[in-house]
Structure 1
Amino acid sequence: MGKLLYSATMSLDGFIAGPGGDMSWLTRHLGPNPEIDELIGRIGALLVGRRTFGGDDPHRGTDKEGKAFGGGWEGPQFVLTHHAPETVIPGVTFVGDLHTAVKAAKAAAGDRYVSILGADVARQCLEAGVLDEILMIVAPVMLGDGVRMFARPDGDPVDLEQIRVTELPHVTNLWFRVRSS
């Protein structure tokens, strides 16, 4: 079975989205990233939070809008929500509980990664003990407010093992393995 990977671009002060879920800040930080280009080919499914699925898009107003990884990836998406829309969306399955969503996404991904999109879903996966790896792309900007990469007030520390760090002129990739407790 594949691994669950939480990946996102975050500001230096720890936000993956600005106030109200604004993603427009991200557009100027998207650029060539060979590690991400290689990773996209190793993703077999997406596990997406409902707010992320219906939220802002850094590609808004372009032909890449609404497409995973700006159109660089296609495949099955599993959206974790208690309120599935009545309209069927091709390639998207709405799932009401975390364990069912993880199981379905892993089955669809086979031996490839399940990429988690959404801070709350990533937190839930971490707390459930099913999150395997974290890849944060740190952009040289501070947003000051917004959606935290990881928010767990009163939570215990999470031990990580560094896999690699890749420095690029416009971002830094930080890849970690979640250590079992």
Structure 2
Amino acid sequence: MAKLLYSATMSLDGFIAGPGDDMSWLTEHLGPNPMIDGFIGEIGALLIGNRSFRGDDPHRGTDKAGEPFGGGWSGPQFVLTHHIPDTPVPGITFVGDLAGGVAAAKAAAGDKYVNIIGADVARQCLAAGLVDEMLVPIVPVLLGDGVRLFDHPGGSKVKLERLGLAEVAQATMLWLKVTG
């Protein structure tokens, strides 16, 4: 059965996107990463937040723009949104509610991971107790502002257990299990 995994590259000060959802900061940190390359083969489907789907791309201006993992992955994609477009987008299924999106993504993923992309959809999945694991590459940069990996006004504690830690290229890779 599919597991839900939240993966996002994070700055040392906790941001996954810069101010205004800018992803250009990430461009210089993209490159060969054996852990990510191996992990991509374990993804069966994507559950994507609408803001991430419509947002900036660290591969902007290259032939890899607009493709998951810069073209390193293809498969079923489910975008969680309150505004389902009238015109279909090839390869994308738009879903209007979290439970339906998670169920559809898990069914499509089979026994592989459903990779969550987007801080807000990840926060919703964490609040609902649906996230099984997290993969967080931490890169050596401070952004000072932007979209946090996890943001819950008023606070919320999510217990994690470290499953793995690795130093790869320009990142420290944390693999975590959500325990509560």
What range is the shorter-chain TM-score in?
Answer: over 0.9
1:158 CA drift (Å):
1.0
Q: How big is each residue's C-alpha offset from its partner over 1:66-112, in whole Å with a ceiling of 9 and x where there is no partner?
A: 00000000001000001011111121100000000000000000000
Name 2:23's counterpart in structure 1: 23
For the pair 1:125 / 2:130, whether they are aligned, the reply is no
Q: How big is each residue's C-alpha offset from its partner over 1:142-166, in whole Å with a ceiling of 9 and x where there is no partner?
A: 0000000100122331110100001
Task: Look up the equivalent residue of 1:49 and give its one-letter code.
Answer: G
Task: Look up the equivalent residue of 1:67 and give its one-letter code.
Answer: E
> Tell me, what secondary structure is at the counterpart of 1:103?
helix
Name 1:84's counterpart in structure 2: 84
Gaps of 5+ in 2: none
Measure, in 1, the Cα distance between the counterparts of 2:82 and 2:109.
Answer: 23
Name 1:41's counterpart in structure 2: 41
Name 1:141's counterpart in structure 2: 141
Gaps of 5+ in 1: none
Q: Which runs of 4+ in 1 moved over 2 A?
A: none
Name 2:160's counterpart in structure 1: 160
Measure, in 2, the Cα distance between the counterparts of 1:106 and 1:86.
Answer: 25
Percent identical among aligned pairs is 68
> Tell me, what secondary structure is at the counterpart of 2:89?
coil
Name 1:59's counterpart in structure 2: 59
Measure, in 2, the Cα distance between the counterparts of 1:137 and 1:84.
Answer: 31
Name 1:105's counterpart in structure 2: 105
Q: Is the 8 A contact 2:33 2:169 kept in 1?
A: no
> Tell me, what secondary structure is at the counterpart of 1:158?
coil
Equivalent residue pairs, number? 180
> Tell me, what secondary structure is at the counterpart of 1:6?
strand
Name 1:73's counterpart in structure 2: 73
> Tell me, what secondary structure is at the counterpart of 2:154?
coil
Q: How big is each residue's C-alpha offset from its partner over 1:31-76, in whole Å with a ceiling of 9 and x where there is no partner?
A: 2111110110010000000000000000001000000000000001
Measure, in 2, the Cα distance between the counterparts of 1:155 and 1:18.
Answer: 21
Q: Is the 8 A contact 2:34 2:168 kept in 1?
A: no
TM-score if structure 2 supplies the norm length? Answer: 0.98
For the pair 1:173 / 2:167, whether they are aligned, the reply is no
